[in-house]
Amino acid sequence: NILLALTTLFLLSCIVGEHGTCCMSVEERLALRSKVKEMFLHGYNGYMENAFPMDELMSVSCQGMETWGGYSLTLIDSLDALVLFGEVEEFNTRVQWILQNIDFDRDVNVSVFETNIRVLGGLLSAHLMYTTGVVDEPDYNGGLLGLALDLGSRLLAAFDTPTGIPYGTVNLMYGVPEGEIQITSTAGGGTYILEFTVLTRLTGDPRFEDAARKASTGLFERRSSLGLVGNHINVSNGEWTHKDAGVGSGIDSFYEYLYKGYVLFREPEYLHMFYDSAAAIEAYLHKDPWYVEVHMYNGVVVWPLYNSLQGFWPGIQALSGGQLDLAMDTVRAFHGIWRRFGAVPEGFNLLHGKVQPGQASYPLRPELAESIYYLYRVTHDPQFLYMGRDMVFGINERTRTNCGFATLNDIEATDLSDRMESFFLSETMKYLYLLFDDENPFNTGYIFTTEGHPLPIQLSFFSEEAAAGQSSVQQTTLNLRPFTKQEVQCPRMSFWQHIGVCELEYVPRN
């Protein structure tokens, strides 16, 4: 039975050592911070020297390739990371290059979702580095916002649908391609609240915020009677075409943006939508400590899988309050997979306790690092520092190449795919660096987009009601079913020793 199998796997993934340590030393934490910066610069310089101005680095053959549109994607996606890592001079130099060379008036089909989170988000965050005083550059004239406005206007064509849920693809010069498929994922249709609303707040053009709100509410209003959304939907008639509900691939950032949209803009509507969704997730998807996929209409489990994109969810639980125990146990279970393989696969079968066939790769994803970072910021529990250390060592030892870092084709083997996704620099390295840098100013006062772009929490972004102090919505805890984890003891011969992996130093929480 599925529940028995999941419980057994949880017991195997217990990482509490018999002899914990009180904390990670300052020296080790600073050494890890330095190591992450060295890794970031290795990847960034490898891209600039071997791939720029193309989109991404082919990190095995050390050459460039166009992937998401041909507009120096990795550079734009990494701009704010340069500031975060202290490379301000390089940031200023590359901003000037972008202002002189990037033009979005191009006959090219692009992913609306990826272009929004990687490019539009990157431009907006970099622009705000100047206007909020993080970077002092008196000669900056707002050019990045002009590029963002131009790009956002071109993406708007995709939102002209009967449901308001956007098409997945748009041509930057001509709009939605003729014959474009009418099916999109929930994440692809509902991950615009942050970037589009900031664009509206900065320019005064309401079209962007209106489009993002309509798309997200359009998806939410089509949830099932259980409160769940499906994985894919027809943007014309609003019918669900893929009815599996989960918190991973195809859905993840839709939920993420509901909560983060409330925090950044103080819009009560987004908080209500998040709370309603979170209650359904805990009621139907949570098989302690894991999350599975179920049929959105009857709650029957259809995929007893850990999906790597689920990794963001414990972080959102920690941020939103009221679910900290759930989040800590879930991220420990996710990290247990990392400890077993030195990476996490795209899919892991919880019923059989092994990598799901066809989902064995690790493309340098950031979601687990993101949740580890958020849980450390909320709890300051040193176990999360050690989890981050595991990730740093695993990434550096298993994926490093002469000019960057590369996707593991199979986490149970050693061969590498010839690609370094832009999100590795924009997210994975960023969250691991912040984890070990307690004093970094980006640790407070910012919301990170789903691509890791920091956006400042400021009064000018709030809704009119919140800015006037009239919003009645408070950040209360969710009224969910109680957490009733049975206390267990790790066996003397732990799972980690059994497979030849050293145990994690861990301090049990009081």
Three-state DSSP class for 63?
Answer: strand
Count CB-CB contacts under 10 A for residue 177. 12
Distance of CA 348 to the CA centre of its chain: 19
d(CA 248, CA 309): 5
Describe the chain by its helix, strand, coil percentages, rounded to 5.
Answer: 50, 10, 40
Q: Is 107 a known active-site residue?
A: no
- Please report the DSSP string for 115-184 in residue order: IIIIIIHHHHHHHHHHHTTSS--TT--SHHHHHHHHHHHHHGGGG-SSSSPPPSEEETTTBSPTT--SEE
Query: Which candidate, 253, 231, 257, places its Cα nearest to that of 244?
Result: 231
Q: Select which of 90, 244, 252, 390 is catalytic.
A: 252
Count of H-run helices and E-run strands, the chain:
20, 19
Q: Select which of 367, 390, 437, 451 is catalytic.
A: 367
Alpha helix (H) ranges present in 245-382?
252-265, 268-284, 313-320, 324-341, 367-379
Q: Select which of 55, 80, 87, 114 is catalytic.
A: 114
Q: Angle, nearest 10°, between helix axes 207-220 and 252-265?
A: 130
Q: Select which of 288, 346, 390, 503 is catalytic.
A: 346
Q: Which residue has the tokens 């803009």?
A: 265
Q: Is 114 a known active-site residue?
A: yes
Task: Give the Å distances, CA to CA, from 350 to 11, 213, 347.
Answer: 13, 36, 9
Tokens of 119: 């490019």
Q: What is the set of active-site residues?
A: 114, 252, 346, 367
